[in-house]
Protein backbone atom coordinates (compact mmCIF):
# COMPACT_ATOMS: atom_id res chain seq x y z
CA UNK A 1 0.00 0.00 0.00
CA UNK A 2 2.99 2.33 -0.13
CA UNK A 3 1.96 3.67 -3.55
CA UNK A 4 -1.66 4.61 -2.85
CA UNK A 5 -2.72 7.31 -5.30
CA UNK A 6 -5.57 9.49 -4.06
CA UNK A 7 -8.42 10.54 -6.32
CA UNK A 8 -8.75 13.80 -4.38
CA UNK A 9 -6.81 15.59 -1.65
CA UNK A 10 -8.14 17.61 1.27
CA UNK A 11 -5.96 20.15 3.10
CA UNK A 12 -7.02 20.54 6.74
CA UNK A 13 -3.70 21.99 7.91
CA UNK A 14 -4.37 24.84 10.32
CA UNK A 15 -7.87 23.59 11.17
CA UNK A 16 -8.71 22.30 14.62
CA UNK A 17 -11.26 19.92 16.05
CA UNK A 18 -13.94 19.37 14.92
CA UNK A 19 -13.17 20.86 11.48
CA UNK A 20 -10.82 18.14 10.10
CA UNK A 21 -13.52 15.49 10.76
CA UNK A 22 -16.33 17.70 9.46
CA UNK A 23 -14.43 18.54 6.25
CA UNK A 24 -13.39 14.88 5.76
CA UNK A 25 -17.00 13.72 6.14
CA UNK A 26 -18.19 16.37 3.69
CA UNK A 27 -15.51 15.58 1.12
CA UNK A 28 -15.89 11.79 1.25
CA UNK A 29 -19.58 12.20 0.44
CA UNK A 30 -18.53 13.94 -2.79
CA UNK A 31 -16.45 11.06 -4.14
CA UNK A 32 -17.54 7.71 -5.59
CA UNK A 33 -17.46 4.40 -3.72
CA UNK A 34 -14.01 2.87 -4.10
CA UNK A 35 -12.24 6.19 -4.59
CA UNK A 36 -9.49 7.36 -2.24
CA UNK A 37 -9.41 10.63 -0.32
CA UNK A 38 -6.10 11.89 1.07
CA UNK A 39 -6.47 14.15 4.10
CA UNK A 40 -3.62 16.23 5.51
CA UNK A 41 -3.97 17.71 9.00
CA UNK A 42 -1.80 19.09 11.77
CA UNK A 43 -4.33 19.05 14.62
CA UNK A 44 -2.85 16.62 17.18
CA UNK A 45 -6.30 15.13 17.87
CA UNK A 46 -6.65 14.12 14.21
CA UNK A 47 -4.27 11.19 14.73
CA UNK A 48 -6.94 9.46 16.83
CA UNK A 49 -10.09 11.18 15.60
CA UNK A 50 -9.80 10.51 11.87
CA UNK A 51 -9.08 6.75 12.11
CA UNK A 52 -11.89 6.41 14.67
CA UNK A 53 -14.32 8.26 12.39
CA UNK A 54 -13.24 6.21 9.35
CA UNK A 55 -14.04 2.97 11.20
CA UNK A 56 -17.37 4.24 12.57
CA UNK A 57 -18.42 5.54 9.14
CA UNK A 58 -17.64 2.18 7.52
CA UNK A 59 -14.76 3.29 5.30
CA UNK A 60 -11.19 1.98 5.11
CA UNK A 61 -8.00 3.67 6.28
CA UNK A 62 -5.44 2.51 3.70
CA UNK A 63 -2.40 4.37 4.93
CA UNK A 64 -1.18 6.83 7.57
CA UNK A 65 2.02 8.88 7.46
CA UNK A 66 3.47 11.59 9.67
CA UNK A 67 6.03 14.10 8.41
CA UNK A 68 6.88 16.49 11.20
CA UNK A 69 3.61 18.06 12.33
CA UNK A 70 1.70 17.02 9.20
CA UNK A 71 -0.32 13.81 9.26
CA UNK A 72 -1.60 12.24 6.05
CA UNK A 73 -4.49 9.77 5.90
CA UNK A 74 -5.52 7.81 2.79
CA UNK A 75 -9.18 6.80 3.11
CA UNK A 76 -11.11 4.56 0.71
CA UNK A 77 -14.84 5.26 0.53
CA UNK A 78 -16.74 2.00 1.00
CA UNK A 79 -20.33 3.17 1.49
Active site positions, annotated: 17
Distance CA 2, CA 64 (A): 10
Distance (Å) of CA 45 to CA 30, 41, 58, 79: 24, 10, 20, 25
Amino acid sequence: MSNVVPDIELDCVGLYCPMPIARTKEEIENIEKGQVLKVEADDPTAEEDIPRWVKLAGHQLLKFERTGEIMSFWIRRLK
